Structure formats: C-alpha cells, structure tokens
Structure 1
Amino acid sequence: MNKTVNINLGGMFFHIDEDAYLKLTRYFDAIKRSLNSSSGQDEIIKDIEMRVSELLTEKQKSDKHVVGLKDVDEVIAVMGQPEDYIIEDEERTNQSSNYRTVRKSKKLYRDKENGLIGGVATGLGHYFGVEAVWIKVLFLIFVFAGFGTGILAYFVLWIVTPEAVTTSEKLEMTGEPVTISNIEKKVREEIESLSDKFKNADYDKMGNQVKSGAERISSSFGDFVMTVFKIFAKFLGVVLILSGISTLMMLLIGVFTLGTNLSMDFPWQNFVEAGNFTGYPIWSFGLLMFLAVGIPFFFLTLLGFKLLAPNMKSIGNIAKYTLLAIWIIAVAIAISIGIKQATEISHENKTVEKKTINITTKDTLFVKFRYNDYFAKDLDHHNDFEFVQDSANNQLIYSTDVRLHVIHTDEATPYVQIEKSARGNSFTAAKQRAEKINYKVQINGNHLVLDNYLLTDVKNKFRDQEVDVYLYLPEGQVFKPDTSIQDYDDSDDSFFNLHFSGNYTYKVVGSEIKCLDCPADENDHDDIQENINEIDNDTVKEVSIKINGKEVLNSKKSSGKLTTDKDGVIIKIN
C-alpha cells in the first residue's frame, strides 16, 4: 500500500501517491537545473507548474482521484524531458527537430496586450488565423448594417471570453504547444521586450511622471475619486441585477403566455395570432424573444453580481460559449422571421364591385349606414378590428374600417362601387384575401343602405382588410344622407361638405354639392370661411366678413375675435 501526499500545484490541490510525488519532484528539480542560466527562472517555473496542474486536472475523474505514476508519465510525455529544452543560445533554439512537441488546438482568449479596448477582435484574429483588422471591420459592419448588433455581440464576447494572462494561456491562444521550451522562450521574449523598453526609456521623464503620479495618488482628491468610483460600481451592479432579473422574468412569462403550454387563452393571444404573418406557431416567438433578448440580459445580470462581488466564481467556458452559440442562432432566426413577416404584407390588391341605382335625378336618394346588433349596439367608428363569434359559433374578425366617398359622375344614373382591399405576399394572395371579405350593400328603390362593418374568417388573419364605398352622383342628383354617415364620410370637402348639425338634403350642382335646406347661418358659414385669410388661436388678424351684404367685421378698421362651435361655425363676433 503506497502513501499519498497532498500537494498544492499551480494553485490546485491534488492527492498523489508517494512514488508519483517523488518522480514529479525530481522532474521539477531537473527543470530548475536546466534553467539555472535562464533569466526569469521563477516566472518560467510558475508557468510550467500551472501547465502541469492543468494537465493533471484533466485526468482527474473525481474529487477522490489519486494521481499515480501513469498520470505523471503522461504529463511528462506532453511537456518533454528537461534535458531536451536547455536553451543556451539562439542556434540551439532553432534545432526544433530534436524537440518533442505535442500540438494542441487553439483556444479562444482575449488578447488585451495587443488590443485597443478589450482584446476581443485580436483574440478572434488569433483563433481564426486572420488579421485582427478584418474582425474589427466585421464588427463595424454589424454596428451599422445590423442595427447595433455589432456592439451587443462585442459586449457579450467581452463578458464570456477570458483574458489570456498566463504564459500557457498566451501560447494556447496562438496555437503553440505548451511545452517547457515554448514557455521558457515566451517568458524570455517578454523579459527581453521589457528590458528594451527600459533601455530606451526617458528616465528623467519617467521620474517626473512617477513623482507627479505619486503626488496625485497621495492626495485626498484621488482617494475621494476612488471611493466615488467604487460606490458607482456597486450602484451600477444593483441596477444591472434588478433590470436583468426583471427582464428575464417578463420574458419567461411571455414564453408561456404567447404559447399554448398552459392550455390557457389570454386576451391578447388572438391579436398576436392575427398579426402573425409567417404561419409559425406563436410559442416560437416567445421562445425566440426569450433567447435573443434574455441571454444578453443574463450576462448583464452576471456582470452586476461581479461588480458587487468581484471574487464570485464565474460560470464555465462551456456554458458561456453554448449560450453565445444559442444567442447567435436565435438572432439569425429572428431576423429571418422579420424578413418573412415584412414579405407577407408587401403587396396590396383589391376587388371592385359596381351596383347601379336605378333612379332619376328627380328622385331623392336616401343614404344611411346600419350596424349589426349581434356584434355592436351603435354606429361607432372604431377603425380597428376585434375577434367575434357569429350565431353559429364561427370565429370571425370584425372591423369598422369602412369609408364612404361621394364623387361626381358624368353618367345619367347614380351608382355605387364597393372596393374591398387587403395585403399579402403577392398581388394574387392579396386579391384572394380581399375577395374573402364579407361586406353587404342593399339598394331598395331610392334607398341605399350600407353596412358599417366588415367580416372575414379568422384563418384569413388581419392583413389591413378595409372597405371603401364610392357613391357616384350625376349632375342635378338630389340625395339625403342620414346622420349615421358622419363618422364614415371621407369625401373631398371641396366637392361635398357634410353638415353635421342636421339631416339635410343636398343636390349636385356643377363642381360641388349644395345643401338645399341648411339653415342660413350654416350656408353663410361656407361664404365666411372663404374670406378668412389668417386665424391664429381664433384671433382674426386680417378678415373682411359680410353677412347679407352688410360688413360686420373689418380688421383694418377694428380688432375682433371670432368664437366658433365644434364644427367651425361662427356663433359670436367680439
């Protein structure tokens, strides 16, 4: 039975049997002897210990795993024997054929030493083997062409990607094998680079900078700034945590309320379904929103906890990169759905139906709107849509998006033209959807009765379905509109100006429609409006008004103020 020893290697604790411990000790002693003449020996030994610790950690199967001779031999096989890596001069260094190397794949790290901000682009350049400038250009393209997604992607990568700090990590970042030779070479290069900086440094300038820096640090103002910064960091951490958790909770609720997972009907679910132009199930939108928006807020929440507790252990790299990959896929799918959504309403088309009204100009045409008391109890013009059931329990879309246009015609008899329009992914699809609109017009002798609503099946979805009714009237035609058309009249006021205060009779005369029985004050109102040149907040700045041939107001002679009712009719002159 062998004894076991607990050791601390590279910051990690291991259970190792006595024989393996002695062999590993001799191995490190041999490395130290081979590095006696090397500069930065302590740094090299530290990096080698960390690399050996990583290799032994990979071999641990459980917390109770005991490192044996086999494990140590396999680690030494990867790292190489110390006598193979005594680097005394550059000529010996270049004899790579004598080295035992084991190639490892690259790992993604942030190269903050060579990066401008967080080292993300430089690290990606090392990983993919391209110049960092092309990665930066790609981020800029996504910033401007991807509606700012480049900034979000950079921020997420900055959070999830670790920084290359140790020599081993820097070697892994560039794909070089992590062996004793490369570790020593890397450390020596860094020491020589630092030495060159000191040789070429302006010591007088550096001394002055150090002196002024020391004075600033020792000042109370510097302490105050640091305190404020720490407080701000804590406050920012709290804000990030609260906003992140609240957003994640709302998104989680949305996953269930937008789908059928709970077998429940929510008030807004039909409206979402009607606006779903893609045909994909509704729950997929909730899931996509949760992933595309929730993952960045999850990392923001982690950042908040990190600001509050800097020593908090981070989630593993596997989890980070898995979430990043899922987020990229979710954003890509969301963009494709958005394109499909826009495509589904890219075309508009209509159907046209013409009905002749068999009356003469001597006959008075009566026009009115009616409502269906099964769906509504009034003639209100909502100009939107809602979901209803008919008496046979069929699901329908109900809308009052109906408009009346009174227009002049050169034909001898009046007629009505019904135009039903809708949108679709093509002109054909839009026309087919328009044909499925249910709208009724009744002509009973000289009475024209129009529905104030339209209906269509729920499966047709809401695609801007609407109805425009064009009433064409010949010269001399007399017609009497009911007050029910007030909310639905969309005629050109220069041709037909409906008076809302009464149920009057009108006649087509030349280029306009005249009111035959309107009160004198309403008819005079039409003439008064033509003489008002400029009105600001009901105050007349330049006006000349005559009623029955008598001038009642002239702004050149006196100042005055008009008071009008809700329809713009003058009811008082001050």
Structure 2
Amino acid sequence: MKKTIPISIGKTLFHIEEDAYGKLSQYLVAVKLKFSSNPEGSEIVADIENRIAEHFLDGQKGDVSHVVDLGEVESLISSMGRPDDFVSPESETDKEDSSASANPAPTTSANNKKLYRNPDDMVLAGVASGLGSYLGIEPVLVRLAFALFAFLNGFGVIVYLVLWASMKEAKTATEKLQMQGAPVTLESVDKLMKETTSNIKEKVGDKNSLSAFANSVGRGLASFLRHVIPGFGKIIGIVISIVAAIGVAALVLGMMAVFISLGSPYLDFPFLEAVGYPLFIFIVIAVFFAVLVPLLFVQALGSLLRNGWDNQKTKYGAILFGLWFVALLSLAALSARAIPVYREFVKNDSSYQKITRAYELEDFSSIKAQNGFSVEIFSGNEFKAEANGRERYLDNIELAVSQGILTISRKSENSPHVCIFCSTHSTNVRVWLPVLQSLSASNGVNVKGTANASGTISVRLENGSSVDLSIVGTSTQVLLRTENASRANISGSTEEADFSASNGSRIQAENLVAKKVRAHASNASKITLQAKEVLDATAENAGRIEYIGTPKELRQDVSNASVLERISGDAPPVVEKISTTTPPTPPALPVTMPSVDGRRPTPVVEDPALSM
C-alpha cells in the first residue's frame, strides 16, 4: 500500500499518494516560476490552485476517504497544460504561427458558461456585459434594452438592481474564463491576464469615474442582501416567494376569467368585438408573459435570499429574460395596432354614444344618492333632473321622489352588483332645486355643486363618497358627518357648524365661516375648520383637528395620539379643558334621513349640546 500525504490546496484538505504528491509539487513549482514575473502572479497561482482543488473534488464524487493517485495528477496536468507547452510573452510575437498550430485556441462552449458580472467591461456594474457574454450577444444591446424598459415602465431599473445584487463579480481568472465558456488551462489563464493588463493600462483613469462609484454602490447593495440581513434573509425570501406565488396564481386565474367571462354582463369591455379574435388572443398572451416573467424574477429573488446564488439556474433566468423582452416588444407592436382600432370602434358604435335624458320630478328638498354615481347640484326655481351617459347605464338609473326626498340609485334587477370596467362615474346626474335641506351619499358617490340653504342643512357621506359643496343663502346651522374614508370640502357661511369625521375620513371647512363650531375627529380622521367665537373640539385615536381664526372660547378633549392645532390666527384662551381620558361617545347628529319605502319618517330630534 502506497504512503499517503495530507495536503491543503485551495483551502481544501486532500489525501494524496507520495508519488502523485511529487509530481504535483513539481508542477506547482513550474507554475509559480512561470508567473513569477507577473505583478499579479500570486493571485494567478492561487486561482490555479483553486481550480486544482475543484478538479480533485470532482474526482472524489462525495467519498471523503478518496486518495488522489498519480493518474489523477497526470489527468489534471493534461487538462490544465504545462507551463512549457506555450510560448513566453517575450517570444510570443515571433512564434505566433507555430504556437497557434501546436496549441490551438480553446473553443468557447455556451453550455459551460456561467453568469457573472464583468468588471473589465462595465458602465455601472458589469451586469449588461456579463449577460451579453453569457447570451453571446453584444453588451450594448443588453444596455439598450435596460435603458428602454427603464424609460417605458421603470421595470428595467428593478431587474438591473436585482441582477446587480445577485450576480457574482468575476474577480478571478477562473471565473472570467468560465464567464466566457473557455476551458481553464495555464495558457488561457496567461492569455487572459495579458489582455487584462492591457485593458488596465488603457483605463488607468477609471478609478475616479462614475462606474467605479456605481460599482462600489452595487457591492454595498449585494453585501447588504448577503450579510447585513442574514438573520432575516430566509424569512424575507419566504415572504417574497409566497407573494410571487400568489401573484402567479392570480394572474393565471385572471387570464382564465377573461376567456370565461367574454360576453358576460359583468364585463363591460368590448375589446374582442373591436379588434377581432386573433389579435385579441395574441395581446392576451403577450400581457400574460409580460406580467408572468417579472413575478418569476421576484420568485427567484426570494429563492436567492433563502438558498443563496446558484449558477446552474442562471441559464433559465436568461431564457426568461429573453422571453420577457420578446413579450414586451410584441405587446408594444400589437397595442400600436389595436388601440386605434378600439378607439374608432367605441367612437362609432351606437351603444357607446352618450345621450341626455330629462326627468320631471315632484317637489323635494333632500337628495339621497348611492352606488357610485356622479351628481351635480344647482340652485334653481324648478325641481328637475337630467342624466347624461350611455343608454345602457341610463336604463339602470332610477330617480324617484318620496316624502320630499329625491333618491338616485341603480335598478338592482337590471344591473349586476359587480362589473369589471363598468364606468358608473361616466354617468353624470344633474339636479336643480330651490333649497337643499339634506344630502346623503354612500358607496363611492361623488357630489359637487352649489346649494341654496335656508335654516339647517345636513350632509352625510359614507363608504368612500365625496362632496365639494358651496352653500349660499341664509344658513343657520350646518351638520356634516363623514365616515369610512369619505371626503368633504364645504364653503360658505353659517351661524353654527357641527362636524364629525371617523375612520380615515376628512373634512375641509376652512372656507366655511362659522361663529360656533363643534368638531369631532376619530380613528385617523382630519378636520380643518374656521371658528369665529366658540370652538368645541374632540379628537381621539389619532384624530387631527386644525383650525383657522381666534375663537373667544376653546373647549378641547384630545386623547390617544390625537392633535388639535391652530394653523392661523392668535391663540385663543382656553376656558375649559376636559380630562384627557377616553371621551364618551358623541351624540348622533340631529338629522335622520326619512325612509323612502312609504313608512313614516323618523322625527328630527334637537340636540341641546349644540346650543353653545
């Protein structure tokens, strides 16, 4: 049995037979001597030793007790090449022809390529150059693609940053040769180092350039992803992967729904009728892949954070990137053809032309609108209304007066509750009346206009509705309540005002001049107001109240991260400060909308708290 010797090559421990050790030692001495005159000789030798370690590890095939024999060393030397097998730099010019015939240049194999960032040909970080080398195309084409998509939708920037952070930089000679798909031999290493040295001389002033700065930023980003968040990296990777998987599932289901729901009353988008079936199919496929590939890249980012970089999977990434590029180009070309056709179809098709329909109404002083309409209010001497929009939508609108209340709603029996691409806001309802006493809007209704008030006027908004109302006339009291992300902008003048905003709503009443104001903001809502004489303010649960003016009396109750702030005028005297404990639930607004189902209306109850 031959004697074995433990050795360390490339920071890896191997057991090698004595005769093989002698052969390997002679080889390494010759290699060191060959590159001793090179300023980077020590790095080259270390790189070659790493390559030798990889060769021996491949020979082990998972057997840690494997012993390297003489045959493996000779096979290594045969594949790597001997230092004397190729000419020295000094005689390279004179013996170029003979060297070429004796040692033909190694061929590049696309199958052996690995994806790295190329530091020798970079504008920012070498990503485009590395992709170009891997795909076998000019780096300038990849750079143009990144620039194009960065300007079109900004996604090119995201992809570039992800690749920048995830792609390793080809630092060693072995990695640079693997990036080109060239075999790692002594001759190829020597040739690469001479080319690198020549490039460095040509770019000696690049250390202070933008590319050097950007490369340092890229290294910092990569270091952050790999080292700063090691404890959270896998968790973040799992979350990103789950989100990407949900996105892919939603995309697939959405594409299926598009084909299943064609012609459905729940889908109001005549794209198929306008452009025809073949073009429609091509556009859907292009959209599918244009959205799918970014989701897969996000999935790959999650895998990177969970498991680290895997060069074996980079070829799939390159294929996906090419597919995404083709999908975007196809989508752009198809859209350029389809959009004008669709616009012309909608313009000329009779079912998409807007008409105006007039309504004769009984006397009313209150308006109740719901389900996503756009309503305009005008002051006039008559009671009338008109609706403008497509005939299909006008057939689904119902305007009815009952007990002095005009109700604007959708006919539920003729209209689906959920409709994709249905433009309810494109239907505009205009209302004329002499005096407005109350207004109620819910479920995404938008109201604007001018209202003539006499006495008390009440406004209530719910569920994402909005109002922009100017009050004229002799108003003595304005009652305004907004709930569930509703918005109100109100102007005019009044004696008293009562504002209530809850659940992320907002009231802008700085242009409503009022002598006495009571305001209650809760649950991340905000009220802006103007008070002349008295302000009674209650803010709770991150509510915010801002006021203009210098009221003579200020009563406040602010709790739970809420704010009461004067934004204009001198600070008023505080005549009463209620305890900052949780305030009692404020009384309901003293106006209740009457029923429209024929029953008797709920009586109006006066609130003595409003008498200040």
Give the TM-score normalised by the residue count of structure 1.
Answer: 0.49
Determine which structure has greater relative contact order: mean sequence separation of CA pairs < 8 Å that are 6+ residues apart, divided by chain length: 1
**Hey, which of these two has a bigger chunk of strand by percent?**
2
Using the size of structure 2 for normalisation, the TM-score is 0.46
